[in-house]
Each structure stands twice: as structure tokens, then as C-alpha cells.
């Protein structure tokens, strides 16, 4: 645990700092990373000792309360803001609220603008779901030499504008292995092999929240089996709600045991007083 001042200049501590992540290039250590979507998942990540977290901007304050010392990424979606000033304002707000890096899919100019302000910038290479229209749908990247070289050139361009880290999604493992040591950018491998400095997976994928019939993506390995429990919980919820509805329709509910009664002899006093009104 390292003593730091966070980006709001408040004294704090972190399990990992930007410098620690950059130093992964010179070590054999791998860190784990995931994306809790609510307080329950966040607490599970903390209890499971996941190293790094990435959260939505609406979560950042609650997440800092639950996980005050975890390295935590936050950012904005591609279409969330229309101009650079709004993006910059949002980035500063997220860093003030406890972010340790800021994710953006916007232009190199925006990445450079943020970086020049001292913000650790994270971006994305390989499969970017937001841009799947441009590449013909959700697919693997870097399977040809030409596309692999495009990935490398994109990474180096990001490096030139000061990007600190990237999510490397669904890239051929040979490609990430070949380029990871040719860049100072910290790589978060999602379905891109072991060569990434950090290994990322989604909470839902790790916990097995999709059934085989739902065809989870190739990179999703289930270490748990929550799908049957979710189905059981849904069925139990529907059964309970149906019973409630039927009892209301039959005028059986609320049951007497659920009702509140007046104190002894108070009803007669009340009705007598009411009749005089």
C-alpha cells in the first residue's frame, strides 16, 4: 500500500499507483482487473482481492467509499459529450472524485489534451464494440499481418500523444506478445492472451452469469456458475409475485397477521366519537 495524494490533493493510499503499473513492463508480475457494476459486485471484487477496478462515472463516489484504496479507472463513453471542453471538465470531475485514470475513445487530439493536463489517460485498441459498425461486427483483431501492424501503429500513435494505458480487446495473442514490450503503454488484456501487463475480465463472465445457450463471447471463461441461480431467483420471484396477485384478487391479502389493530376498547371510543361528527 502506497501513501499518495489523490488528484483532488487529499492524502490517501493506493494498492497500486500509475508508476507501479508502468513498472510491470520490467517484471513478471500480472495484475487482475474487473468492472463491478454495483455495490454488491464491488464488495465481492474487494473481498476477492482483485487488483484494479474500472467503474462507471455514476459509481465513482460510492465506489471510493467501499474501496477507498483500490486503483480505480473511470471515464466517459464515446458519445457522452459533444465537445472537448465538456470532456475535459468531466475528466477533472472524475479525478477530483477519486479516479486514478480516465478512459476515452475520442480523438488523438482529445487524448493529448487530457494527457497534457496531467491526467493518466486510458484508451482502447483491437475490438472496440462502440465502433463495431466500422469493422463488420464483433470479431477478433490482428489475425492478418496487415491488421496486426495497424494495431501496433495505433498503439504507437497513442503513445506519442501521452496515453498511459489501453484495453487490448480480442487481439490475436501473438500480436500483443510481439508489441507489448515495444511500447511504454500499460496493456490490459481482455481476450488477448497472457502478454498483457494486466489481465482483465468482466464480472459477469468471471461469475458465469450467462448460460451456454446465450453463447458468451470466446474470451469469457466462467470461474463460477451463477446463471442457474439467476434463473432460480427469477422463477422464485415470478412465483411469489403471482401468488401475491392472486391473493389480492381473492381479497385474502393483507392477512390478519400483517395488519395493525387498535388498542383494546379504543375502537368503540373512536366509532362513538366518529358518529358525533
In the prediction, which pLDDT does 212 show? 72
* In the block, residue with C-alpha cell 468471471: 206
95, 114 Cβ separation under 8 angstroms: no
* Residues 10 and 64 both lie in one domain: yes
97, 60 Cβ separation under 8 angstroms: yes
Q: What range does the domain containing 261 cover? A: 229-275
* Residues 135 and 271 both lie in one domain: no
DSSP-H helix ranges across 32-83 = 39-47, 60-66
In the prediction, which pLDDT does 150 show? 97
Give 262's contacts (C-beta < 8 A, 6+ positions apart): 270
* Residues 178 and 62 both lie in one domain: yes
What are the pLDDT digits (tens) for 90-137?
Answer: 999 999 999 999 999 999 999 999 999 999 999 999 999 999 999 999
In the prediction, which pLDDT does 218 show? 82
* Residues 85 and 184 both lie in one domain: yes
38, 204 Cβ separation under 8 angstroms: no
55, 35 Cβ separation under 8 angstroms: yes
* Residues 163 and 127 both lie in one domain: yes
What are the pLDDT digits (tens) for 129-170?
Answer: 999 999 999 999 999 999 999 999 999 999 999 999 999 999
* Residues 71 and 134 both lie in one domain: yes
* 169-183 average pLDDT score: 96
d(CA 165, CA 92): 18
* Residues 155 and 85 both lie in one domain: yes
What are the pLDDT digits (tens) for 53-89?
Answer: 999 999 999 999 999 999 999 999 999 999 999 999 9
* DSSP conformation class of 69: T
Instruction: Provide the total of helices (H) and of strands (E) in the chain, helices listed first.
Output: 10, 10
**Is it the case that residue 214 has pLDDT exceeding 80?**
no
Q: The domain spanning residue 189 has which CATH number? A: 3.20.20.60
* Residues 177 and 207 both lie in one domain: yes
Count how many domains the chain has: 2
Amino acid at each position: 500500500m502506497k501513501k499518495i495524494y489523490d488528484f483532488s490533493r487529499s492524502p490517501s493510499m493506493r494498492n497500486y499507483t500509475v508508476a507501479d503499473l508502468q513498472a510491470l513492463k520490467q517484471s513478471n508480475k500480472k495484475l487482475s482487473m474487473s468492472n463491478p457494476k454495483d455495490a454488491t459486485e464491488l464488495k465481492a471484487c474487494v473481498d476477492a482481492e482483485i487488483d484494479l477496478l474500472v467503474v462507471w462515472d455514476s459509481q465513482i463516489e460510492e465506489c471510493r467509499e467501499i474501496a477507498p484504496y483500490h486503483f480505480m479507472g473511470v471515464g466517459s463513453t464515446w458519445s457522452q459529450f459533444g465537445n472537448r471542453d465538456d470532456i475535459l471538465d468531466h475528466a477533472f470531475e472524475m479525478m477530483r472524485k477519486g479516479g486514478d485514470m480516465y478512459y476515452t475513445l475520442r480523438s488523438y487530439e482529445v487524448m493529448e489534451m487530457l494527457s497534457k493536463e496531467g491526467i493518466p489517460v486510458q484508451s482502447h485498441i483491437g475490438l472496440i464494440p462502440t465502433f463495431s459498425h466500422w469493422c463488420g461486427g464483433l470479431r477478433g483483431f490482428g489475425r492478418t499481418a496487415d491488421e496486426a501492424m495497424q494495431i501496433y501503429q495505433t498503439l504507437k500513435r497513442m503513445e506519442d500523444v501521452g496515453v498511459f494505458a489501453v484495453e487490448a480487446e480480442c487481439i490475436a495473442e501473438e500480436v500483443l506478445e510481439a508489441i507489448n514490450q515495444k511500447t511504454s503503454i500499460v496493456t490490459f488484456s481482455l481476450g488477448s492472451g497472457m502478454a498483457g501487463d494486466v489481465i482483465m475480465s468482466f464480472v459477469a463472465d468471471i461469475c458465469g452469469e450467462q448460460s451456454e445457450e446465450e453463447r458468451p463471447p470466446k474470451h469469457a471463461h466462467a470461474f463460477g456458475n451463477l446463471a442457474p441461480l439467476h434463473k432460480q431467483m427469477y422463477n422464485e420471484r415470478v412465483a411469489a409475485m403471482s401468488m401475491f396477485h392472486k391473493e389480492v384478487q381473492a381479497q385474502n391479502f393483507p392477512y390478519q397477521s400483517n395488519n395493525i389493530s387498535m388498542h383494546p376498547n379504543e375502537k368503540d371510543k373512536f366509532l362513538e366519537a366518529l358518529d358525533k361528527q
